């Protein structure tokens, strides 16, 4: 082995310098440990300083929670109002935690029916006190208001200009009386829509005229069905003179226009009385296990009623709790005397009526084509032309899911047999009927009636057979009725007497129970035996009318539809 192949391992005596280094090694080790400890403390301190004050407090005191459920449009100003409360130490030593959750009012009511008590919020801010007046599982009390926003009719600039509304404000009936298309979100889930209809009713005096107006409004709105309020506004933003009117709020219009390049929606304030969303602050009686004491609730309520909260509300486009409008709204220019606030009983009655009107129609229209229908009503129309025009006009307002059939009747149609002819089956107006829609089929058959006049009026047998025909296909989810239009008294001596027909109709109604079919009898001209029509209609729990002009007949048809249930 050569010397170069030997590996020299230093021993204890190999190097003096090495021995000196070994003597200092323990001190270097302790120095490194000390530096590491100091660095670790710095890191821990830095990490601790990054934790929020509320988290630090929660580590040393238990939480006391106040939960608010609010409609989405006020969530931002509410969060701004309560932002400084999180972590505040309360009188019982707990730390306040404020939770704000967004939810539509109908969802809050639905969830309240199934949630356990400890999941209920302490405060609720819906968009209207109408919600707080509905029956709920939990006890509530209104303790204040966060904001207000007047209900308006949103219109396209073209519609507002063509109607002259920017110079002369219209009334509720001007807006909703059938002259303009209306897009009406479901009143059972939209406080804005419900308040709009209540305002229309109140402005007209809450009588038969109000019933007809609301029925007409719902008919007009049914032709522009929308799945949600957002969809209704989208259709409005598309613009044009034919764009529908949409019930909105002042704040909602401002929010829409804020994200458009130009004014897309004009707010129309009806001049004969105003209604508004009032954004109540509702206290819910039940408290959860982690709920804050009264001092915590008081702190939240004080924050919601503070000047910073009012400023946040105005900045979001609302009128604040004192009624002060946003800076860009001229209070004098939009001032409207308030209509009376509807109470729970009135709201409940209206919702019941609306639910009845919301049922799809299942109607058999029966038109008299006896020779006397050729008599003139005025210089422009004879009786059959008046009947056809009014029926067609009402039919245009019915939605595509409305089921409508058409008969004509005269004593000469089939001597010795039935006096009526079925011209169109009872089918949805939007369904296919051969090469056309069923609506087009009904309109085409109506247009032919003025050319088919002759014979006498076979009123009794036709009325009875029509009621039987509708009952045979009764739809429990629809409003089943017969609308009979005639200009005279019964002239068919071969059929049953009035007493016999009335007796059969009464017996049928009693036997049918809930499967009742109402007869709506409409008389045209001076030859009508009103008492005769009234007896026939009353036997079915229906109604009888007389009309001598297009306007009267259209009004009668609206009323008949509004009372068809």
Confidence check: pLDDT of 146 > 70: yes
Instruction: Extract the tokens encoding 180.
Output: 């303009």
Spatial contact of 455 and 412, defined as CB atoms under 8 Å apart = yes
pLDDT tens digit string along 472-507? 999 998 989 999 999 878 888 777 899 999 999 999
Provide the pLDDT confidence category of residue 179 given band limits of 50, 70 and 90.
confident
Spatial contact of 354 and 188, defined as CB atoms under 8 Å apart = yes
Provide the pLDDT confidence category of residue 51 given band limits of 50, 70 and 90.
very low
Of 496, 493, 487, 550, the closest CA to residue 522 belongs to: 487
**Rounded CA separation 236/228 (Å):** 13
Domain 57-146+279-320, CATH number (from 3.30.420.10, 3.40.50.300, 3.30.70.1400, 3.40.190.10): 3.40.190.10
Q: Where are the domains of the chain?
A: 57-146+279-320, 148-276, 359-562
* Mean pLDDT value across the chain: 83
pLDDT of residue 45: 37
**Rounded CA separation 9/424 (Å):** 116
pLDDT of residue 493: 79
Domain 148-276 architecture: 3-Layer(aba) Sandwich (3.40)
pLDDT of residue 293: 59
Please state which CATH number belongs to domain 359-562: 3.40.50.410
**Burial group, residue 93, by CB count within 10 angstroms (0-12, 13-18, 19+):** exposed
* C-beta neighbour count of 462 within 10 angstroms: 28
**Rounded CA separation 145/325 (Å):** 15
Let me know if the fold of 57-146+279-320 is the same as that of 359-562. no
pLDDT tens digit string along 184-242? 888 988 999 999 999 999 999 878 788 888 888 888 887 776 667 788 888 888 878 88
Confidence check: pLDDT of 3 > 60: no
**Rounded CA separation 438/483 (Å):** 18
């Amino acid at each position: 082995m050569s010397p170069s192949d030997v590996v020299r391992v230093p021993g204890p005596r190999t190097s003096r310098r090495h021995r000196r280094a070994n003597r200092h090694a323990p001190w270097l080790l302790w120095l490194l440990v000390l530096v590491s400890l100091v660095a670790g403390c710095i890191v821990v301190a830095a990490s601790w300083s990054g934790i929020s004050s509320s988290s630090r407090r929660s580590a040393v005191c238990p939480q006391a929670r106040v939960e608010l459920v609010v409609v989405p449009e006020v969530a931002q100003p509410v969060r701004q109002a309560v932002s400084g409360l999180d972590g505040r130490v309360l009188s019982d030593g707990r730390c306040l935690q404020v939770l704000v959750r967004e939810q539509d009012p109908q969802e809050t009511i639905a969830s309240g029916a199934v949630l356990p008590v400890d999941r209920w919020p302490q405060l609720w801010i819906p968009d209207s006190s109408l919600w707080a007046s509905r029956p709920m599982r939990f006890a509530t009390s209104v303790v204040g208001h966060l904001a207000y926003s007047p209900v308006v009719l949103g219109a396209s600039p073209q519609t507002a200009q063509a109607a002259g509304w920017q110079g002369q404000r219209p009334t509720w009936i001007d807006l909703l009386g059938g002259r303009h298309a209306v897009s009406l979100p479901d009143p059972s889930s939209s406080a804005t829509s419900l308040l709009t209809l209540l305002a229309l009713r109140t402005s007209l005096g809450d009588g038969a005229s109000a019933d007809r107006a609301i029925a007409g409004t719902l008919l007009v709105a049914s032709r522009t069905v929308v799945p949600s309020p957002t969809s209704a506004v989208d259709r409005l933003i598309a613009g044009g003179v034919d764009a529908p009117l949409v019930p909105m709020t002042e704040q909602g219009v401002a929010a829409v226009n804020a994200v458009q390049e130009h004014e897309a929606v004009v707010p129309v304030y009806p001049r004969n009385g105003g209604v508004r969303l009032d954004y109540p602050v509702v206290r819910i009686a039940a408290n959860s296990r982690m709920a804050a004491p009264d001092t915590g609730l008081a702190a939240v309520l004080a924050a919601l009623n503070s000047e910073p909260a009012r400023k946040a509300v105005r900045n979001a486009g609302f009128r604040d709790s004192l009624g002060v409008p946003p800076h860009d709204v001229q209070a004098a220019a939009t001032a409207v005397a308030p209509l009376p606030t509807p109470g729970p009983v009135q709201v409940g009655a209206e919702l019941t009526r609306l639910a009845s009107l919301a049922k799809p129609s299942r109607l058999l229209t029966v038109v008299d084509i006896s020779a006397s229908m050729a008599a003139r009503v005025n210089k422009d129309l004879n009786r059959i032309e008046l009947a056809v025009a009014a029926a067609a006009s009402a039919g245009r307002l019915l939605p595509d899911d409305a089921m409508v059939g058409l008969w004509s009747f005269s004593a000469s149609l089939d001597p010795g047999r039935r006096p009526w002819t079925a011209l169109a089956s009872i089918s949805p107006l939007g369904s296919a009927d051969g090469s056309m829609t069923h609506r087009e089929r009904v309109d085409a058959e109506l247009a032919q009636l003025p050319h088919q006049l002759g014979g006498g009026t076979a009123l009794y047998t036709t009325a009875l057979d029509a009621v039987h025909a509708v009952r045979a296909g009764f739809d429990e989810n629809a409003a089943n009725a017969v609308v009979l239009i005639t200009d005279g008294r019964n002239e068919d001596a071969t059929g049953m007497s009035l007493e016999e027909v009335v007796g059969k109709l009464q017996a049928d109604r009693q036997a049918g129970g809930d499967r009742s079919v109402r007869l709506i009898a409409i008389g045209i001209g001076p030859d009508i035996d009103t008492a005769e029509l009234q007896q026939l209609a009353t036997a079915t729990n229906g109604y009888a009318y007389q009309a001598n002009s297009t306007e009267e007949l259209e009004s009668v048809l609206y009323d008949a539809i509004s009372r068809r249930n």
